[in-house]
Copies of this chain bind each other. A is one copy, B any other.
Amino acid sequence: MKVTVFVTPKKTVLDPQGAAVGHAMEHLNVKPSSDVRVGKTIEFELEGSDTPELRAQLEKICDGLLSNPVIEDYRYELA
């Protein structure tokens, strides 16, 4: 089963990396009409099917390893 985890900065948190990308875009004559948000994607495969146990394990690594719950949100897709 393919797992894709999307980690993004919380809306309430300043995203300096996003601000820098936004400024750089303007130098290329592309003016974003909103803040730019830069996040991470983590892709991997897991043995087994979509069970509550597997989701619990996945949430454990999302919370404890793949994201910083203080400043980031995450969601995941199973395929």
What chain B residues lie within 8 Å of A31 (beta carbons)? 47
What chain B residues lie within 8 Å of A60 (beta carbons)? 28, 30
What chain B residues lie within 8 Å of A37 (beta carbons)? 42-44
With an 8 A cutoff between CB atoms, is A52 at the interface?
Answer: no
28 A–B pairs (Cβ distance < 8 Å), ordered by A: A8-B41, A8-B43, A18-B44, A21-B42, A21-B65, A21-B66, A22-B44, A25-B44, A25-B65, A29-B57, A30-B57, A30-B60, A30-B61, A32-B45, A32-B46, A33-B47, A34-B44, A34-B45, A36-B42, A37-B42, A37-B44, A38-B40, A38-B41, A38-B42, A38-B43, A39-B41, A39-B43, A40-B40
Q: Which 8 A-B pairs have the closest CB atoms?
A: A34-B45, A32-B44, A36-B44, A39-B41, A37-B43, A33-B45, A33-B47, A30-B61
